[in-house]
Structure 1
């Protein structure tokens, strides 16, 4: 329980700085909101382990790599979308593909789905009932195996390292 209070205090501090009103009352409001958030989301992120500062510190480099890869992939996809827009005669084949995933935890599956949706030109539509495939709409699926490979080996790999 002590660790949740520490997280709530950190979120209270963040709340104060983000809101631009650094006062004791604002810090207390942010801390109470932080405690509610931490308590409601604690099972989502590691139900089998206690959250400690050490475990978070160990995951920070992996999260940094994930966000760097995400920014690179967003940039590459944005350039590809810009090429499609600037070349209206370009032959594109939009469609939906099933991408098998290795993630088993809800947080990881959600992170993968959101990462795909954040990348321009792709959108996660659904997940299979057995939670082993994501259905992804892409602006160009002329090479579906390459797209699956890109999602599994570039995006999912880093999501698994950061969130599982």
Structure 2
């Protein structure tokens, strides 16, 4: 059984024992289960779970921050009389090479308001992205590569 499934099981049992079926009690049970598994880490052979979960949480936190910032930019553009958008399409060279890596990077970019993954090149090395607020092309490429793509690759390759 994977440690993640075992941790989910701990969280379900913890939530059941508390008698409350709330998300905070499940998350607290998940945290307690993670702590218990971490303390018993020497019993497991060569596991990546304790490295991967913090990186996944980092990816989720980064994405939620970018989501909030993008929502505020789009909202500001909508409610103000003058438009601040400068749309454009750029090609972002990809380090991601597997189908899952490219899929996650492209879809996380598309889920962020103001950006949309348009296409992937035939050789799967360039992701074409439509950006609503494009000030600096190189900075936008760096933001995607050092932001979402880097964090997705940390989760999937660690």
TM bucket normalised to smaller: 0.5 to 0.7
Whether 2:39 is the aligned partner of 1:58: answer no
The aligned counterpart of 1:96 is 89
Per-residue CA shift, 1:33-60, capped at 9, x if unaligned? Answer: xxxxxxxxxxxxxxxxxxx993334311
Whether 2:112 is the aligned partner of 1:124: answer no
* Distance (whole Å) between structure 2 residues aligned to residue 108 and residue 136 of structure 1: 16
The aligned counterpart of 2:105 is 112
Whether 2:152 is the aligned partner of 1:159: answer yes
Give the TM-score normalised by structure 2: 0.67
Please, which runs of 5 or more residues in structure 2 have no aligned partner? 16-44
* Distance (whole Å) between structure 2 residues aligned to residue 88 and residue 134 of structure 1: 33
The CA RMSD over aligned residues, in Å, is: 2.7
> In the comparison of the two structures, how many residue pairs are matched?
124
Q: Would you identify which runs of 4 or more consecutive aligned residues in structure 1 move more than 4 Å?
A: none
Equivalent of residue 146 in structure 1, options 128, 139, 153: 139
Give the TM-score normalised by structure 1: 0.65
Please, which runs of 5 or more residues in structure 1 have no aligned partner? 18-51
- My pick for the range that moved more, 87-96 or 122-131, is 87-96
